A and B are shown apart, each in its own frame.
Chain A
Amino acid sequence: MDEVTLSMPSAPAQTEDLLEFQNVSVRYGGVTALSEASLRISKGEIVAIMGPNGAGKTTVLRALLGLAPVSSGAIYWQGRLLRAVTHEMVTLGIAFVPQGRRVFSHLTVQENLEMGYLTIKDASERARRMASVIELFPALEERRLQIAGTMSGGQQQMVAIARALMSHPKLLVLDEPTVGLAPIVVQSVFDKIEEINRKTHTATLFVEHDVKNALDVAHRIYIIDKGLIIFDGEPNMVREGHLLKDVFLGKAETAAAASSIDHRQQS
Chain B
Amino acid sequence: MDGTKVKSQPLDGYVTYQEPISDSSTHSALTNMRSVGAGVVIIATGLYLIFLAIESPRAFFQVFLDSVIDGSVYGLVAIGFGLMYSTVRFFDISYAIMPAASAFAVFYFNQRASRFVSVFVVGGSVSAIVVGTGIGLIVALNLSICAYPALRSRLGSLPAQGIIAVTSLILGLYSGALFLYPDQLEKLVAPVAGLVIAASIVTLGSLAVRCVPASQNAARLLFSLLAIVGLGIGVWCGVLLYGAMGAKLYIGWVLGIALSGLLGMLFYGGLLRYLSREGRSLLVPMVGSLGIYMAMVALFSIIFTPNVKSLPVPFGSDSIAIAGAYIKPFSLFFIAVVIVFFAGFVLVLKKTTLGKEIRAIADDRELAMTVGINVSAVTMIVFAIGACCGAMAGIFVAQDTAFKPTTGLQLLFQGWVASVVGGLGNIYGALAGGLLLGLLENYAIWYVPSEWKNSIAFGMLIVFALLWPKGLLPRR
Interfacial chain B residues near A107, Cβ < 8 Å: 356, 359-360, 363
Tell me the minimal C-beta distance from B352 to chain A in angstroms.
11
Interfacial chain A residues near B366, Cβ < 8 Å: 67, 98
| Most A Cβ at <10 Å: residue of B15, B363, B371, B475 | B371
Chain B residues numbered 1-48 whose CB sits less than 8 Å from any CB in chain A: 1, 3-5, 7-12, 14-17
User: From DSSP, what is the main secondary structure of chain B's interface residues?
Assistant: helix
Interfacial chain B residues near A151, Cβ < 8 Å: 16
Q: Is B375 an interface residue (CB 8 A)?
A: yes
Q: Identify A90's interface contact among B10, B16, B367, B372, CB under 8 A.
A: B372
A102-B364, A154-B11 known; A119 vs B372 contact (CB < 8 Å)? yes
| Most B Cβ at <10 Å: residue of A89, A90, A104 | A104
B 350-365 binary contact with A (CB < 8 Å = 1; else 0): 0001001101101110
Q: Identify A86's interface contact among B3, B15, B153, B370, CB under 8 A.
A: B370
A-B contact count (CB 8 A): 112
Number of contact residues on B: which range applies? 35 or more
Q: Identify B371's interface contact among A105, A118, A153, A188, CB under 8 A.
A: A118
A154 to B15, CA, bound (A): 9
A114 to B476, CA, bound (A): 20
Interfacial chain A residues near B362, Cβ < 8 Å: 106
Interfacial chain A residues near B3, Cβ < 8 Å: 1
Q: Is A76 an interface residue (CB 8 A)?
A: no
Q: Contact: B14 with A152, CB < 8 Å?
A: yes
Q: Contact: A139 with B372, CB < 8 Å?
A: no
Interfacial chain A residues near B149, Cβ < 8 Å: 85, 87-88
Q: Is A202 an interface residue (CB 8 A)?
A: no
A86 to B360, CA, bound (A): 15
Residue of B whose beta carbon sits closest to that of A199: B4
Number of contact residues on A: which range applies? 35 or more
Interfacial chain B residues near A67, Cβ < 8 Å: 366, 369-370
Tell me the minimal C-beta distance from A142 to chain B in angstroms.
10
Interfacial chain B residues near A150, Cβ < 8 Å: 16
Residue of A whose beta carbon sits closest to that of B356: A111
A154 to B357, CA, bound (A): 25
A102 to B369, CA, bound (A): 12
Q: Contact: B357 with A188, CB < 8 Å?
A: no
Q: Is A65 an interface residue (CB 8 A)?
A: yes
Stretch from A130-138, A205-213, A221-229, A256-264 that touches the partner? A130-138
Q: Identify B16's interface contact among A103, A116, A153, CB under 8 A.
A: A153
Chain A residues numbered 137-191 whose CB sits less than 8 Å from any CB in chain B: 137-139, 147, 150-155, 158, 163, 167, 182, 184-185, 188, 191
* Sampled A-B contacts (13; CB under 8 Å): A1-B4, A87-B373, A89-B370, A89-B372, A104-B364, A105-B363, A106-B359, A111-B359, A115-B360, A118-B373, A139-B9, A167-B372, A188-B11
Q: Taking beta carbons and an 8 Å cutoff, which residues of B are in contact with A?
A: 1, 3-5, 7-12, 14-17, 149, 153, 353, 356-357, 359-360, 362-364, 366-375, 475-476
The 10 closest A-B pairs by CB, nearest first: A90-B372, A152-B14, A139-B8, A104-B363, A86-B369, A96-B370, A154-B11, A115-B371, A102-B367, A87-B374
